[in-house]
Amino acid sequence: MAAALPLKRPVKVGELVRRRLRELKRTPRELADAVQVSEIYIADLVAGRRRPPAPGRMDVYAPMTKFLKLHRNDLPTCAKAERTARPRASAGRILRSGGNSLPSVSTRPGLVFLARRLGARTA
């Protein structure tokens, strides 16, 4: 099968990888072996539980592109669009509230515990 033509519009990296694996009748395990990453990493990427690597990570994208027989810019272009549309989640947003000198913290249980240990006021 010849390499695919460049994409007309970016799609999610996971969708593109899943579609090409199906078209080539290959498995995520085979892709993980080719890219030298864990199968769990590929599964998370395909399922959308993991953000795609930065567009400049050619150590990941070059072997993926070769294995999936994609145009060389498809994966980085999709990754850039996806990373721009879905910004990185912060580990806990600390916001200043009113005139209080103590920051408030999001209500995620682990962060609330940590915030209390550090003396911050929880929201």
pLDDT digits (tens, 9 = 90+) for 27-48: 999 999 999 999 999 999 999 9
Task: Give the strand pairing for 94-95 and 121-122.
Answer: unpaired
Q: Give the tokens for residue 120.
A: 């911050």
Query: pTM for this one?
Result: 0.65
pLDDT at 83: 87
**Which pLDDT value is given to residue 65?**
94
DSSP track, 27-89 = -HHHHHHHHTS-HHHHHHHHHTSSPPPPTT-HHHHHHHHHHHT--TTHHHHHHHHHHHHSPPP
Condensed to tens digits (0 to 9), the pLDDT of residues 55-77 reads: 899 999 999 999 999 999 899 99
**How far is the CA of 73 from the CAs of 40, 94, 102, in angstroms?**
24, 37, 46
- pLDDT (mean) for 115-120: 66
